[in-house]
Amino acid sequence: VKFLLLVSILELLVTHSPEPTKNVEDSIRKQFILKLTLLLHKNDPGMDLAIQKKKLSNIYDIRSAIAHGGEVEASIQELRQLIKDLYGYVQVVFTIYITDIPFVDFLKAN
């Protein structure tokens, strides 16, 4: 439940409703990965973007598996670490939002 709630908070903060002509799940997934990677990079310019993209992709895939009743391919230990990471991501997004509201609003809308 923590995992789903934390991912949902991040989705709420950075994604917008996709165009109805597109695959909704794929569009939200792409927004989630791209926009969070940008925000996390803004917080830590030295981070490896490829590694972060892969990690966020994995997080979103796990979220989808949990939400839609699929098989989660992660151990309890891995899930615990990802939950810790998600708390950190929420903190980063909130911090950037508080200090640069127009940027996060622009990112969410586009």
Question: What pLDDT was estimated at residue 60?
Answer: 96
**What sections of the chain are H helices per DSSP?**
2-14, 24-43, 49-68, 76-99, 101-109
pLDDT score for 26: 61
Per-residue pLDDT, averaged over 32-53, amounts to 96
Residue 18 confidence (pLDDT) above 80: no
- The Cα 3–Cα 87 span in angstroms is 9
Find, among 80, 76, 37, the residue nearest to 57 by Cα.
Answer: 37
Residue 6 has pLDDT above 80, yes or no: yes
Percent of the chain with pLDDT over 90: 80
22 has a pLDDT exceeding 80: no
Q: What is the mean pLDDT of the segment spanning 34-39?
A: 96
**33 contact partners, CB below 8 Å, separation of at least 6:** 53, 56, 57, 60
Q: What is the mean pLDDT of residues 14-42?
A: 86
pTM, two decimal places: 0.89
